[in-house]
Structure 1
Amino acid sequence: MKKPIKTGVFALSLLCGASAAADISDEMVKIGVLSDMSGIFSDLSGEGAVTAARMAVDDFVANEDPAFQVELVTADHQNKTDVAASRAREWYDTQGVDMITDVINSAVALAVSEVTRDKNRMLMVTGSGSTAINNEQCSPNTVFYAWDTYSLANSLGRTLTDQGYKKWYFVTVDYALGKAIEYDATKAVEQAGGEVIGSLRHPMGTPDFASFMLQAQGSGADVIGIANAGADLHNAIRVANEFGISQQQKIVGLSASMTDVHALGLNTTQGMLLVEGFYWNQDEQARTWSRRFQEKTGKMPNMLNAATYSAITQYLSAVKRLGSDDADAVMADLREREFNDLFAKNGHLRPDGQLIHDVYLFQVKTPKESKGDWDYYELVDTIPAERAYQPLSDSRCELVKRAGSRT
């Protein structure tokens, strides 16, 4: 049942069961998808996140027949922290939203996490990756669900440095995500015996990367690490190819995804190494769900889309088990669970709010190796959850200090 469109907000009500559980607030579970619907991250998330969320709610209602109603609301945060925080506060205060998800853009995620903690609701971050989310700004109300800069940068930094690419130079977007990627990749490179010989920062939404990439080329580095995402990543890699930089030095998109490979094409990205937590063709469960997603959107889902589906399904399952949408109770329940679904394999939720799960090192196929549309990856290695993520012994999260560190 669709409600009328409100200003900038699409609301979808999915009613289930004749009566709500006694401990469900407002006799309804309401989930908000707060995403970038029109900016530089919209292709990564945006309508894809909304579609995945609707699929999760539809499937949960059809398969579980819960004794409560479920409603989904969505909004565009416009990549502005004040807009995101204001929307989250409004949802919590006046619309009865119990859980918010997506929040792509790390600065946005951190702002919404603070509001969520103040309101004692829940945030499941499936779009953003800054490790500040589970370190300095960790929260008992936030689940860091899909990916983080540590798992990507650590895996790629170590792998390439071990292969002999010892000298690194970073081109980094000047906000939370980029700084976290560069920080984590630097640690991995140095621990593997390499060195970082320089870096530079660029504003988000930079239209011309020529001067940045030429300066990186002039550094003489073995690897130029691109520490940004979305349109910025695409523009930087395109410039590197146009100037022939990628033929002389290794160009690495440290947060690159299948969405980026699709946008740039195999001719531009062939041979690139990437770390992801999901690939549509990794197993039969992933293929079945992904083809359903493709029927609705015209494209295969990326890691963030799959994570949004998984997060909402796990959240609703916890609410049903408990008969309550109380944030503290749901978080406690999730911490007791092992996560194994189409997205999260061998996963569990740690005291710092990080959901750790297996991740995968892929190499992008050449055009000749690809057998058709969306056939982009060759699996190189499966990285177990406990090895992929920052160990709790290195955590800067106050919650870990309280709980007592465990690796």
Structure 2
Amino acid sequence: MPTPTSLRFRPTLSACALACCAITGTAQAQAPAPVRLGFLTDMSSQYSDGDGKGGATAIQMAIEDFGGKLLGRPIELLSADHQNKADIASTKSREWVDTQDVQLLIAGTNTATALAMGQVANEKKRVLLINGAYSSNLTGSQCSPYWVHYNSDTTAIARGTGRAVSEQGAKTWALLVADYTFGHTLEADVTHVVQAQGGQIVKSVRAPFHANDFSSYLVQVQASKAEILGFANAGGDFMNALKAAREFGITPKMKPVALMVFANEVESLGLKLAGGLMFTDSWYWDRSPEARAWTDRYYARTKKMPTSLQASDYSSAMSYFKAVEKAQSLDADKVMQTLKSMPLNDMFGKGKIEPNGRYVHDMYLLQVKTPEESKGKHDSFKLIKALPGETLFASKQEAQCPIWK
């Protein structure tokens, strides 16, 4: 039989337990909901090395460097593989916004998936940062008040590399083109640049995405007898096509030009195969002391050197965080207004976001070093010259963006 003391003690314990639960419950109820970001890119296919999980790591670094909070709320990153399929990108974006209240969408590689995410961003009024999709139409005829095209685009890389090659005296080009939106836009932009320089595209051959064999397409290109073989493709398609062109003995007769290539692809190809290639990129490891310091931190974390896409993932997220804090709001219209009014200057670049959402920053004409020129591991490029962004990206008149009044 319990004593009077124990009878009196038990209710006291119960009361304490209830009080503690009430306090804990109140604290949990008052804990601010996280600000969620949704990042979709190729995580498993031929573009995954250029962005992929490394891009997610870069964004996470930005979250940590910003302090992990936005407007007093914790920042949380959601990421997924869109498998280069627009329907998956659309469905996942919509799911995140509807069920997780995602405030910011970040588009990695692939123009079609970026456009699919963009439609959700327009409908739900969410900011969309586009880093790995390159079609210049994203800030041209298909522009949106909620999209920022942050990294580069087909107009800029076509002008950067196309002009440089034309200035060396080449007049005739043959193009091997990726047969989807990105490739078609790049083909059109390169054609415009070459013709403006007094040259001619004498042959243009389109090859499907993720082609297994490029021999039949390269035979057509070789038959053109053009001076320049321009690769208007990217990722694994570019690397496999260049390897095949070298194996077939095409490149001694036609000068290979990479219209879009990333640092990781050069490292995968090796300097013996890629040496001498000239290309335009938005960023490289030794762009500045700040870029090198960030590269070293990224490498320490991933054991891989970053690409311009991954640097852009970091920088664009940081710019968004700064704009939200400055606007003191997550409202997409207010954030976009702030982003377009802010001067941007960090480890990625310096410039401004135009009314059509195009971030105008300098680009770099680079050349892959030969094995003899390289001083060691990761010493893969030499800077030919910096290219002012104002001379590369589309002007208001050229862009024909409906919202750029």
Relative to the length of structure 1, the TM-score reads 0.90
Cα distance in 2 for partners of 1:317, 1:216 equals 48
Cα shift at 1:372: 1.3
Cα shift at 1:33: 1.1
Cα distance in 2 for partners of 1:195, 1:84 equals 38
Conserved 8 A contact 2:36-2:102: yes
Equivalent residue number for residue 186 of structure 1:
191
> Residue 47 of structure 1 aligns to which amino acid in structure 2?
K
Cα distance in 2 for partners of 1:192, 1:391 equals 18
1:60 aligns with 2:66: yes
SS for the counterpart of 2:109 is coil
Equivalent residue number for residue 51 of structure 2:
45
SS for the counterpart of 2:345 is coil
- Cα distance change on mapping 1:65 and 1:98 into 2, 3 Å: closer
Cα shift at 1:198: 1.4
The equivalent position to 1:391 in structure 2, one of 367, 392, 395, is 395
State, as a whole percentage, how many aligned pairs show the same letter: 40
Cα shift at 1:68: 2.0
1:123 aligns with 2:128: yes
Conserved 8 A contact 2:35-2:70: no
- TM alignment of 1:314-393, pairs within 5 A: 314-345=319-350, 347-393=351-397
Cα shift at 1:396: 2.1
Question: Considering only aligned residues, what root-mean-square deviation do their CA atoms show, in Å?
Answer: 1.8
Conserved 8 A contact 1:92-1:98: yes
Offset from partner CA, 1:296-333 (integer Å, 9 cap, x none): 11111110000000000010111112221110000000
SS for the counterpart of 1:245 is coil
Cα shift at 1:103: 2.8
Equivalent residue number for residue 100 of structure 2:
95
SS for the counterpart of 2:66 is helix
- TM alignment of 1:134-173, pairs within 5 A: 134-173=139-178
Equivalent residue number for residue 36 of structure 2:
30
Equivalent residue number for residue 9 of structure 1:
none
SS for the counterpart of 2:202 is strand
Conserved 8 A contact 1:254-1:274: yes
SS for the counterpart of 1:126 is strand
SS for the counterpart of 1:75 is strand
Cα distance in 2 for partners of 1:66, 1:119 equals 21
Conserved 8 A contact 1:33-1:73: yes
Q: Which runs of 5+ in 1 are unaligned?
A: 1-17, 20-25
Conserved 8 A contact 1:135-1:396: yes
Cα shift at 1:154: 1.0
Computing the radius of gyration over CA atoms, which structure comes out larger, 1 or 2? 2
Equivalent residue number for residue 7 of structure 2:
none
Relative to the length of structure 2, the TM-score reads 0.91
- TM alignment of 1:75-114, pairs within 5 A: 75-114=80-119
Conserved 8 A contact 1:266-1:366: yes
Cα distance in 2 for partners of 1:144, 1:29 equals 22
Cα distance in 1 for partners of 2:282, 2:208 equals 28
1:269 aligns with 2:246: no
Cα distance in 2 for partners of 1:133, 1:395 equals 10
Offset from partner CA, 1:14-38 (integer Å, 9 cap, x none): xxxx99xxxxxx7432111111110
SS for the counterpart of 1:101 is strand
Conserved 8 A contact 1:49-1:102: no
Equivalent residue number for residue 74 of structure 1:
79
- Cα distance change on mapping 1:88 and 1:65 into 2, 3 Å: closer
Q: Which runs of 5+ in 2 are unaligned?
A: 1-26
> Residue 41 of structure 2 aligns to which amino acid in structure 1?
S
